Amino acid sequence: MAAPDSTGTLDQLTPGMPIVYAGTKVARVSEELAARFRAGDAVLVAASTGALLHVPKAVRELVADAVQRAESAFGVLNRTSDAAISRFFAGFAARLSNDGVWGEVAEANRRDVESATARGRSTTRLIATERMRQGMIEGLAGFASAPSRRGEVLDRIAHEGFDVELIGAAVGIVGFVFEGRPNVLADATGVLRSGNSVVFRIGGDALGTAQALMQLALVPALREADLPESAVVLVESAEHAAGWALFSDARLGLAVARGSGPAVATLGSLAQQAGVPVSLHGTGGAWMVASKAARADRFAEAVFRSLDRKACNTLNVCCIERSRAAELVPVLLDACKRAGDRLQQAYRLHVAQGSESYLPGELFSRSVSVRRAEGDVIEPQADLIALSELGREWEWEQTPEITLVVVEDTAQAVAAFNATSPRFIASLISEDPEEHARFFAGTEAPFVGDSLTRWVDGQYALSKPELGLTNWQFGRLFGRGGILTGDTVYTIRTRYVSRS
């Protein structure tokens, strides 16, 4: 076994070497990790899984430097006026509105998309469309006019001879890890609204696009507004280790992660071990329940509008009450077909065991072309899955893909949602107000509705760019809603004020 060097740190690892974590658990160093490890590298343990994560020295130092620069910028932002921060947002939006600037960004994005496609990676959220551009511009314009919470007296409690004031204040450095989504670089700058600084690690698929946005629009806007350039720092590394190192840095005031479930769970575990508050959203997939009191036309429209593209708030599981299944299952299939036709695709159905008798047998024997990240593949249009798989999120590209389960009643659907889903989004299609009240009270979800599921979005619901959505997968939220936006990233200071 390797011994620590004179500084008390390990300079090598050996295969089978035990590393203790979580007080009583032990992880063993693999031969591969031992061979890759060099003096100056770091090994992190994700307590949630026991995985040993290798962070090369160069990556560790790159991230540490990024956080240091953001920390220095935060000190400057404390002395920066709200008007200057508003000028930054306006300037950033103006540059994205410039066709010449956007043309260069679009070219960088084209190269990213081409590379990702060649590697069989998903590109559904990577492509910098005109719609994405306009969304970024609108979001930045909104932040330019939004009020800042820093310095605002949020509450005042009067006592005899003195007052106690609760005052908004910046959180500090906000660390972000996002996968393949160019627009989040613009959206997440919203945390500057309350005087916070930012460090990004964006997935390798979108790194070229992010670099173009930084160089052509974001950094010039910071300079023009006389804000420190390191108020927003992009970690220019495609390695996952950069995200691990960032979320393990105790200097962060908040860590925000979005991406695939296992990756986000690992990042969250690392941040929590470092004592950093986290906002996590790694598993999506909305549930919709059609009750015996459902109107068929409203159900059809809700399904259709919830399958326009794959996002975390896309319909993933549909529960239909048994007493209406003979009528509503065909309505569901027709809505899925229309959603597929809109995308010039078929649709894909996973049927929970015990529900198959309500479907035409030909669906299980028919093969269709399904668009996957690696290309078009031939798959059965419908297949059977176990009830234990109801919580699985289907990551589709262009071919709408959902799970169907027939339930005895709404209560059974609620129980299945609470037991197997990521506790994220639930929608009830029913004309019975009392049933809606019971559904809202019993469903363990932060987002509950009575129609389409795609409304769960900061821009759509709150008219603000979202930084992330948080589900109740790991327990209820503390002190804020499930939609994280730039202007909600603040803390509260308390001040005693004497009254003479």
pLDDT of residue 477: 64
The full set of domain ranges for the chain reads: 18-58, 59-283+485-495, 286-452
- Which CATH class for the 286-452 domain? alpha beta
In the structure, what pLDDT confidence band is assigned to residue 8 with cuts at 50, 70 and 90? low
Whole-number pLDDT of residue 57: 96
Give me 295's structure tokens: 């109107």
Tell me the C-alpha distance between 344 and 397, whole Å.
Answer: 12
pLDDT of residue 52: 94
DSSP code of 460? I
Please tell me the predicted confidence (pLDDT) of residue 475: 67
Best CA proximity match to 116, nearest among 27, 34, 206: 206
Are 114 and 123 within 8 A, CB to CB? no
Strand partners for 173: 197, 252
Dihedral sign for Cα 19, 22, 23, 25, please: negative
Distance CA 144, CA 124 (A): 29
288 pLDDT higher than 90: yes
Q: Checking DSSP bridges between strand 252-258 and strand 232-234, what pairing results, if any?
A: unpaired
Other CB atoms within a 10 A radius of the CB of residue 47 amount to: 17
161, two tokens: 């001879």
Give the 3-state secondary structure of residue 480. Answer: coil
pLDDT at 459: 78
Q: Give 166's strand partners.
A: 155, 494
What is the model's pLDDT at position 280?
81
The residue-averaged pLDDT of 42-58 equals 92
Its pTM stands at: 0.85
Helix pair angle (99-118, 82-97), 10° resolution = 70
pLDDT per residue as tens digits for the range 214-241? 999 999 999 999 999 999 999 999 899 9
Q: Please state, in angstroms and rounded to a whole number, the distance separating the CA atoms of residues 43 and 10.
A: 10
Asked if 212 and 220 touch (Cβ cutoff 8 Å), the reply is no
In whole angstroms, give the CA distance from residue 196 to residue 178.
Answer: 18
Given a cut of 70, whether residue 29 has pLDDT beyond it is: yes
What is the residue-wise DSSP string for 278-300?
Answer: EEEE----EEEEE-TT--HHHHH
* pLDDT tens-digit readout, 455-497: 998 878 888 777 778 777 766 766 667 788 877 888 899 999 9
Percentage of the chain beyond pLDDT 90 is: 75
Identify residue 340 by its one-letter amino acid code: G
Query: What region, left, alpha or beta, does residue 8 occupy, with left being phi > 0 and alpha being psi -120 to 50 degrees?
Result: left
Q: What is the pLDDT of residue 1?
A: 42
Q: pLDDT per residue over 231-279, tens digit each?
A: 999 999 989 999 999 999 999 999 998 777 788 889 989 999 999 988 8
Give pLDDT, residue 321.
98
Identity of residue 363: L
> What spatial distance separates the first Cα and last Cα of the chain, rounded to whole Å?
68
Q: Give the number of other Cβ atoms within 10 Å of residue 24's Cβ.
A: 6
Q: Which amino acid is at 167?
A: I
Q: Which of 65, 9, 63 is nearest to 37 (CA)?
A: 9
- Is the four-CA dihedral 481, 486, 489, 495 of positive or negative sign? negative
For 150, phi then psi, to 5°, come to -70, 130
* Percent composition of the chain: helix, strand, coil (DSSP 3-state, to 5): 40, 25, 35
From CA 243, how far away is CA 249, in angstroms rounded? Answer: 10
Q: In terms of pLDDT, which residue wins out, 403 or 257?
A: 403
CB 132 within 8 A of CB 182: yes
Three-state DSSP state, 170:
coil
Q: Which of 10-14, 128-132, 306-310 has the lowest mean pLDDT?
A: 10-14
Superfamily of domain 59-283+485-495: Aldehyde Dehydrogenase; Chain A, domain 1 (3.40.605.10)
CA torsion through residues 199, 201, 206, 212, sign: positive
3-class secondary structure per residue, 18-56: EEEECCCEEEECCHHHHHHCCCCCEEEEECCCCEEEEEC
**Per-residue pLDDT tens digits for 297-355:** 999 999 999 999 998 899 999 999 999 999 999 999 999 999 999 999 999 999 999 99
Highest mean pLDDT among 9-18, 174-183, 385-394, 454-463: 385-394
Candidates 207, 201, 183, 247; CA nearest to 458 is 183
Task: Look at 120 and 209; give whichever has higher pLDDT.
Answer: 209
Q: Which residues contact 176 (CB under 8 A, 6 or more apart)?
A: 184, 188, 198, 199, 200, 201, 202, 255, 256, 257, 467
Rg (CA), the chain: 25
**Segment 143-168, tens digit of pLDDT:** 998 888 899 999 999 999 999 999 99
In whole angstroms, give the CA distance from residue 39 to residue 61: 13
